[in-house]
A = this chain, B = another copy of it.
């Protein structure tokens, strides 16, 4: 026997389940810790995709229950359209099975691997079968399954299948049990929070081993699901064209106009003219030579880019801004949705946002929020084209310090939406380095960087103005004393002047000739609504503006006025009264108010 013959005995085909069982880190199951997030992410992706297709408002329940030492049971239930019982075993018990792989449109799932990988991981680590309940309508029964995967064949193994009672009229529930631990809980919470931010139409409830969390719906509008489009001529490869042509029974003219995106009659005529192919020839009769000429012609004629608005679903600037602001209470936040672009024929849109100040950490690198097709990316930040593109921007020119990433109280969100997001691995943690995508991210961030620079300069200028004003105010008393000494008059009250210089709200009380006068002057740039509290023995029954509220405290009266004062405006009240008592102003920041009681 030759060596080749003995080697031949060892050669055999490897099932895709065997491959991913051995290389489970490629699917995001490289550590027990990660397994939980990966599984929930895949199940929630499926739930959100299905609800979007059914145009129902998603109602998702997630539970993580410790069932033994280092063993957790993950439950995800949704109110989606459900899965027909014939397909349940394949959706959960076969890797590379799905509905979205062959469609050209934005969706969260795109590989047909996700949830079945979790089933595989469960049977590998605990041997516990996965249970699935699914129901496709109120007039149809709910089916219960116990499933595993035949690893050597990559086929589902149905252990139990039965009809059960279920309170949902439609939806799916999956329970998967594997070795894990909750040490990545912070990341899990981030994942849930960010998912809620970009899916404001979803209600998400989570029971994390007893700790209950609810992310309420922020809108009752369903998301219109992106529509699938045909392939675009510019992104078509020879092998793909050949395959499409071989299964077509149309003329080559109809094949072009029906089979490709954005190819109208005029374009088809131009293409066939250049390729020197008669319009009436059957597509499936074209020879290799003809197909090569056809492809070259298809890619030389001007054809509009793919209809991105139809097949893509960006989050939108408004929603990004409100989501971030709600979460981080930022001093500055702007978002930018770029126009759609194309890489290798796949349309994509980049969205980005920058947040500054607020609850962000003052120190350290920028906080990154990465999203792909509305799904938060949690792991492998360093390997991601998004991170790379952010580091490529010269942040110093926007007055930020930078060590690769910009540093300081800054947050950067980037969302890449595409009909085919190029991930660096099946675990979908990081976007691959595609230059077209990186370029769009850089352009979006440069736009936002300029706006941030304007904001920071203005803020710094304001601070400078304030410092200058403070300096002036600090010498005002001396000037006043000097001047009054020279002219031989008493020292004047300079507080309104200070208020004016410092751009503050001044409340003054002065008693003169048995009359009390309270005034509120607003030197800020915005109108204010404030409450004036005056406590004294005076009843103020004859007040020029009656108090909104009067309360007696022992022998004194607490008089309260609610007053709106325009920018640069003044509000006033007078009443009969005597010296004494106290005054206060509320409803305006402590640093912004000056209260002066000039009774002496």
Chain A residues with a Cβ under 8 A of chain B:
2-5, 7-8, 10-16, 18-19, 21-23, 25-26, 30, 50, 53-54, 81-84, 86-87, 90-91, 94, 96-99, 101-103, 111-112, 123-127, 136-137, 140, 151, 170, 237-240, 242-243, 288, 291-292, 380, 382-383, 388, 404, 420, 422-426, 430, 432, 434
Contacting residue for A14 out of B97, B170, B404, CB 8 A: B97
How far is it, in angstroms, between the C-alpha of A18 and the C-alpha of B110 when the chains are bound? Answer: 13
Which chain B residue shows the least CB distance to A98? B11
B84–A127 touching, CB < 8 Å:
no
How far is it, in angstroms, between the C-alpha of A83 and the C-alpha of B239 when the chains are bound? Answer: 28
How far is it, in angstroms, between the C-alpha of A571 and the C-alpha of B103 when the chains are bound? Answer: 88
Copies in the complex: 2
A7–B53 touching, CB < 8 Å:
yes
Which residues does chain B contribute within 8 Å of A91, judged by CB atoms?
A: 11
How far is it, in angstroms, between the C-alpha of A82 and the C-alpha of B3 when the chains are bound? Answer: 9
Which chain B residue shows the least CB distance to A16? B16
A96–B22 touching, CB < 8 Å:
no
User: Which among A23, A140, A422, A430 has the greatest number of chain B C-beta atoms within 10 A?
Assistant: A23
User: Which among A25, A123, A388 has the greatest number of chain B C-beta atoms within 10 A?
Assistant: A25
Which chain B residue shows the least CB distance to A122? B239
Which residues does chain B contribute within 8 Å of A124, judged by CB atoms?
A: 237-240
15 contacts between A and B (CB under 8 A): A4-B170, A11-B90, A11-B99, A13-B97, A14-B96, A19-B96, A19-B101, A22-B420, A23-B111, A23-B422, A23-B423, A124-B237, A125-B239, A127-B239, A127-B288
Contacting residue for A11 out of B10, B97, B151, B424, CB 8 A: B97
A112–B14 touching, CB < 8 Å:
yes
Which chain B residue shows the least CB distance to A84? B8
How far is it, in angstroms, between the C-alpha of A127 and the C-alpha of B236 when the chains are bound? Answer: 13
A10–B99 touching, CB < 8 Å:
yes
Which chain B residue shows the least CB distance to A99? B10
B11–A242 touching, CB < 8 Å:
no
Which residues does chain B contribute within 8 Å of A54, judged by CB atoms?
A: 3
Which residues does chain B contribute within 8 Å of A112, judged by CB atoms?
A: 13-14, 19
Min CB gap A557→B, angstroms: 69
B127–A87 touching, CB < 8 Å:
no
Contact (A10, B243) CB under 8 Å given A127-B238, A127-B288, A137-B4:
no
How far is it, in angstroms, between the C-alpha of A8 and the C-alpha of B58 when the chains are bound? Answer: 20
How far is it, in angstroms, between the C-alpha of A432 and the C-alpha of B26 when the chains are bound? Answer: 9
A82–B4 touching, CB < 8 Å:
yes
Which residues does chain B contribute within 8 Å of A123, judged by CB atoms?
A: 239
Q: A8-B87, A382-B388, A424-B425 are in contact. List 5 more A-B contacts (CB 8 A).
A: A8-B83, A13-B112, A23-B423, A25-B422, A151-B243
B81–A30 touching, CB < 8 Å:
no
Contact (A11, B87) CB under 8 Å given A54-B3, A151-B239, A432-B30:
yes
User: Which among A98, A123, A425 has the greatest number of chain B C-beta atoms within 10 A?
Assistant: A425
Which residues does chain B contribute within 8 Å of A420, judged by CB atoms?
A: 22
How far is it, in angstroms, between the C-alpha of A54 and the C-alpha of B288 when the chains are bound? Answer: 41
Min CB gap A432→B, angstroms: 5
B432–A7 touching, CB < 8 Å:
no
Which residues does chain B contribute within 8 Å of A16, judged by CB atoms?
A: 16, 96
Contact (A3, B81) CB under 8 Å given A11-B90, A96-B19, A101-B14:
yes
Which residues does chain B contribute within 8 Å of A87, judged by CB atoms?
A: 8, 11
B126–A238 touching, CB < 8 Å:
yes
User: Which among A7, A291, A404 has the greatest number of chain B C-beta atoms within 10 A?
Assistant: A7
Which residues does chain B contribute within 8 Å of A2, judged by CB atoms?
A: 81-82, 84, 136-137, 140
How far is it, in angstroms, between the C-alpha of A402 and the C-alpha of B356 when the chains are bound? Answer: 30
Min CB gap A138→B, angstroms: 10
Which residues does chain B contribute within 8 Å of A126, judged by CB atoms?
A: 238
A425–B96 touching, CB < 8 Å:
no
B14–A98 touching, CB < 8 Å:
yes
Contact (A4, B383) CB under 8 Å given A21-B239, A238-B125, A420-B22:
no
Which chain B residue shows the least CB distance to A30? B432
Which residues does chain B contribute within 8 Å of A432, judged by CB atoms?
A: 25, 30
Which residues does chain B contribute within 8 Å of A25, judged by CB atoms?
A: 422, 424, 432
How far is it, in angstroms, between the C-alpha of A176 and the C-alpha of B239 when the chains are bound? Answer: 15
User: Which among A5, A11, A434 has the greatest number of chain B C-beta atoms within 10 A?
Assistant: A11
A81–B422 touching, CB < 8 Å:
no
Which residues does chain B contribute within 8 Å of A8, judged by CB atoms?
A: 83-84, 86-87
